[in-house]
A = this chain, B = another copy of it.
Amino acid sequence: MGRWEPNASGRLREAALDLYVERGFEQTTVAEIAARAGLTARTFFRHFADKREVLFAGSELLEEHMVEALDRAPEAASPMEAVGAALDAAAGTLGRNRDFSRRRHLVIVANGELQERELIKMTRLATALTEGLRRRGVAEGDARLAAEAGVAVLRVAFERWVTEPEERDLALVMRESVERLRSLTR
């Protein structure tokens, strides 16, 4: 996904992000987003339920990709190996457009309500990964610990990736974080 997508939803997303960064999330209206994208508010609402949805529409997709990767991991994979497969999938989804991710991150950390929303999405993700590990036959406590550890890695690695001056491969940054967690708990 390049920065200038020809489709309406991509244009709306870029316009929204630009305005959220320039003026703040609270101060931006749907009418302004649509105008900036050269579209109507009506078109906006065909793509997004509200202005917050622009930032979180990707979260369901992220969860879907991660759970799919977890389910597809070889039967012999350990819980953390299966979580590692889910993190690779997350890197594939989140790592495509660092400029978008970086700006989205700036908008979210600047707004308490958005931070809470993001937090809730991360908790849902941990629950989905826990359930995925349970389906693989992992015991409840282990499943939750591995899932929570995976989400912690995701958050720490993602934040490092968006804030580093040079762009690196997100999957690599995630694997480094898994490795750090391993040596921390050793």
On A, residues with C-beta under 8 Å from B are 78-80, 116, 119-120, 123, 141-142, 144-146, 148-149, 152-153, 155-156, 160, 177-178, 180-182, 184-186
Among residues of B, the one whose C-beta sits closest to the C-beta of A173 is: B141
- B-chain residues with CB within 8 Å of residue A184 when the two chains form the complex: 78-80, 142, 145-146, 149
Q: Cα distance A2–B178 when bound, in Å? A: 43
Selected from B116, B120, B123, B145, the residue in CB contact (under 8 A) with A181 is B145
Least CB distance, A72 to chain B, in whole angstroms: 20
Q: How many copies of this protein are present in the complex?
A: 2
Among residues of B, the one whose C-beta sits closest to the C-beta of A181 is: B145
Q: Are A156 and B181 in contact (CB under 8 A)?
A: no
